Chain A
């Protein structure tokens, strides 16, 4: 057996004149404004990002330029040092330093130590090798 349905309120002239009972609700949230704010914030972030990226590129380019200049300068310094080393090793300079600063004396005659030709040597000892003396 089905339960009995609830009875609708009885319509009276007073109730009809007063209209239905209304329940107040909150104002509806505007979705377009939120999107705009989010987009603006996003655009700001992107803009900052781009500016930051550009600043980074500029800084890196500046660093690169500086490094290029350093390479040129270092290459030049290397060349000059190599030249100086070659100058310091020059035979003429070494000779002058040896003669005038270190007191080198050049021999007037070069003496050669050479082996004595066999014919100029005296006779071998008469005592044979291995013989006890």
Chain B
């Protein structure tokens, strides 16, 4: 007989317990092994993985420093601006998202689609964007499309004001030109970063890891430029360039005593007839033959060498033969006895050449170098030209003659102004400057300037100032007069060298450059100026096209800085100002005058 039911051993609970225990042991062993792997063997990897998930690194932008004018007015500042970008990996439907973005961004949908479907994890869609555009894109709620921020350079007084001087900053705060490049090391901020532990929803985990390396903002640069004067100079220069039908113009106003440049403008005519400031600072990068404005420098050398005084007379002919070249004056007068002052007032080429001949090649060359021609001004502006003063060894028999009257030598407008500043400064050369202070995190730092150096004696400089005042009172620069003020200035009308190397263009025409350089008030110069009109067509002579601009800007400058007119009778014998009745009834006894 067989037993059909289960055997006793099949239901043995001890066996089940043993199996269960074995399973538990194996499971526990697995857990232990896993724990060992997590906590001991692969600990570093998992710690790093966890930190990667929790730790967030936020880059902190160091803002680029401001560029301010001499009164602290902002000329260039940096602000955070929105930009729109995408992470293609997170874009779910490039076609649909591109179609949604295209009308908002005003871009081609296929072009956007290509960007959204591209490899990599970052593409710019709009840079920079306006606040309104950023809000509009954010409202679309497109996956993988984000709004970020980045610093952008702004010019509150307009992008055109002092454009060539300030220069340009591109994307990623990269400086491209002008002072932005020259002072990039000081202006550029230093980026920092914040590392912190973030939990769900991006909230900072309290007591979590936090490491802050603060960003450092760039230093602010304080210029010598006066924003109001710069604006007026650009406005008036543009107007006169337009009126004169010129291809462009340059104007600089400075303080001779300090070398501070108060305004520096360069404009050019466009093909559509508009006159706009140039992006290139032609006041320091452009060179030209200055013509008769150089005569003041020649006579400064003559007077300083003691060869003549302002009243020394000399017989001058209107035609002068030197080797194979014939030099002529504009006015035909045969032979005339002229003082050195007369020669300057009438801007006689031949009179100047005669005195330059007495000076000699080497002495003239030496003086030109001491006045700053053929070398740097000390401004070190990016792209600044040293001009061209030919080596004395390369001078021909007529070089002294042409160079003495401003031909055969190339100068920048700033070099010529710096030379006139020597005359205004009683013979001292003061390097021109555009930056007065740098405001860093450690407080303001004065920018060092090269030391002033003597070029000619003060007596010679004062004598030339008197001669230049006569040029404005009754000479070629009469249109530069400002009622009530003594102005010292000289005009120069130069023929412009063409690409062929000669003065005639392919159509057989001359092109001219009209210049007036000078300073005021002549008795105690506070301001100096050079104005240049390039290729004027309505008139070619500086006395007609450039001198009126000089007078207009000189008047504006004197009013702007509230310089009193010459007051020879204002101060009475007892040191007080006269009453209105006294002025009306005539001078008192002992009144100055």
Determine whether B468 belongs to the interface, using a CB cutoff of 8 Å to chain A.
no
Asked whether B586 lies within 8 Å of A123 as measured between CB atoms, the reply is yes
What A residues does B156 contact at CB under 8 A?
83, 86-87, 89-90
Q: Shortest 7 CB-CB distances between A and B: which pairs?
A: A118-B593, A86-B156, A114-B484, A91-B231, A61-B206, A90-B157, A86-B74
Determine the interface band of chain B, counting residues with CB < 8 A from chain A: 35 or more
What A residues does B482 contact at CB under 8 A?
112
Q: Scoring B residues 481 to 519 as 1 if CB is less than 8 Å from chain A, else 0, what string do you get?
A: 011100000000000000000000000000000000000
What B residues does A61 contact at CB under 8 A?
203-206
Determine whether A15 belongs to the interface, using a CB cutoff of 8 Å to chain B.
no
Q: What are 8 A-B interface contacts by the 8 Å CB criterion?
A: A57-B206, A57-B207, A79-B80, A83-B156, A95-B231, A121-B586, A121-B587, A124-B585
Q: How close is B83's CB to chain A, nearest CB, in angstroms?
A: 15
User: Which residues of A47-63 are within 8 A (CB) of B?
Assistant: 54, 57-58, 60-62
Most buried by A among B235, B569, B588: B569
Asked whether A86 lies within 8 Å of B586 as measured between CB atoms, the reply is no
What A residues does B327 contact at CB under 8 A?
none
Q: How close is B320's CB to chain A, nearest CB, in angstroms?
A: 40
Task: Check A125/B158 contact, CB under 8 A, given A57-B206, A82-B74, A114-B484.
Answer: no
Determine whether B565 belongs to the interface, using a CB cutoff of 8 Å to chain A.
yes
Determine whether A115 belongs to the interface, using a CB cutoff of 8 Å to chain B.
yes
Give Cα A76 to B79, complex, Å: 8
Give Cα A116 to B73, complex, Å: 39
With beta carbons under 8 angstroms apart, the residue of B77, B203, B207, B559 that contacts A65 is B203
Asked whether B206 lies within 8 Å of A118 as measured between CB atoms, the reply is no
Q: How close is A83's CB to chain B, nearest CB, in angstroms?
A: 6
What A residues does B570 contact at CB under 8 A?
115
Asked whether B586 lies within 8 Å of A90 as measured between CB atoms, the reply is no
User: Which residues of B417-473 are within 8 A (CB) of A?
Assistant: none
Instruction: Known A-B contacts: A57-B207, A121-B587, A129-B588. Give 7 more (CB < 8 A).
Output: A83-B79, A83-B156, A91-B157, A91-B228, A91-B231, A115-B566, A116-B569
Task: Check A79/B79 contact, CB under 8 A, given A65-B203, A65-B204.
Answer: yes
With beta carbons under 8 angstroms apart, the residue of B74, B484, B587, B589 that contacts A112 is B484
Give Cα A117 to B570, complex, Å: 9
With beta carbons under 8 angstroms apart, the residue of B80, B228, B232, B591 that contacts A118 is B591
What A residues does B206 contact at CB under 8 A?
54, 57-58, 60-61
Determine whether A110 belongs to the interface, using a CB cutoff of 8 Å to chain B.
yes
What B residues does A91 contact at CB under 8 A?
157, 161, 227-228, 231-232
User: Which residues of A106-133 are within 8 A (CB) of B?
Assistant: 110, 112, 114-119, 121-125, 129
User: Which residues of A72-103 are within 8 A (CB) of B?
Assistant: 76, 79-80, 82-83, 86-87, 89-92, 95
Determine whether B144 belongs to the interface, using a CB cutoff of 8 Å to chain A.
no
The residue on A at minimum CB distance from B585 is A125
What A residues does B207 contact at CB under 8 A?
57
Give Cα A80 to B483, complex, Å: 45
Give Cα A110 to B73, complex, Å: 28
Asked whether A82 lies within 8 Å of B203 as measured between CB atoms, the reply is no
What A residues does B559 contact at CB under 8 A?
110
Asked whether A86 lies within 8 Å of B203 as measured between CB atoms, the reply is no
Asked whether A115 lies within 8 Å of B583 as measured between CB atoms, the reply is yes
What A residues does B569 contact at CB under 8 A?
115-118, 121
Determine whether B154 belongs to the interface, using a CB cutoff of 8 Å to chain A.
yes
Q: How close is A122's CB to chain B, nearest CB, in angstroms?
A: 5
Determine whether B393 belongs to the interface, using a CB cutoff of 8 Å to chain A.
no
Asked whether B79 lies within 8 Å of A92 as measured between CB atoms, the reply is no
Give Cα A90 to B559, complex, Å: 20
Give Cα A76 to B568, complex, Å: 56
Q: Scoring B residues 259 to 286 as 1 if CB is less than 8 Å from chain A, else 0, what string do you get?
A: 0000000000000000000000000000
Determine whether B17 belongs to the interface, using a CB cutoff of 8 Å to chain A.
no
Determine whether B567 belongs to the interface, using a CB cutoff of 8 Å to chain A.
yes
Give Cα A29 to B203, complex, Å: 53
What B residues does A83 contact at CB under 8 A?
74, 77, 79, 154, 156
Determine whether B148 belongs to the interface, using a CB cutoff of 8 Å to chain A.
no
The residue on A at minimum CB distance from B156 is A86
What B residues does A87 contact at CB under 8 A?
156-157
Q: How close is B589's CB to chain A, nearest CB, in angstroms?
A: 7
Give Cα A38 to B235, complex, Å: 89
What B residues does A123 contact at CB under 8 A?
586
Q: How close is A75's CB to chain B, nearest CB, in angstroms?
A: 9
The residue on B at minimum CB distance from A58 is B206
Asked whether B586 lies within 8 Å of A92 as measured between CB atoms, the reply is no
Give Cα A86 to B586, complex, Å: 50
Task: Check A62/B157 contact, CB under 8 A, given A110-B555, A114-B565, A118-B587.
Answer: no
User: Which residues of B196-224 are within 8 A (CB) of A?
Assistant: 203-207
Task: Check A118/B568 contact, CB under 8 A, given A82-B74, A83-B156.
Answer: yes
The residue on B at minimum CB distance from A84 is B156
What A residues does B154 contact at CB under 8 A?
83
With beta carbons under 8 angstroms apart, the residue of B73, B588, B593 that contacts A86 is B73
Asked whether A122 lies within 8 Å of B586 as measured between CB atoms, the reply is yes
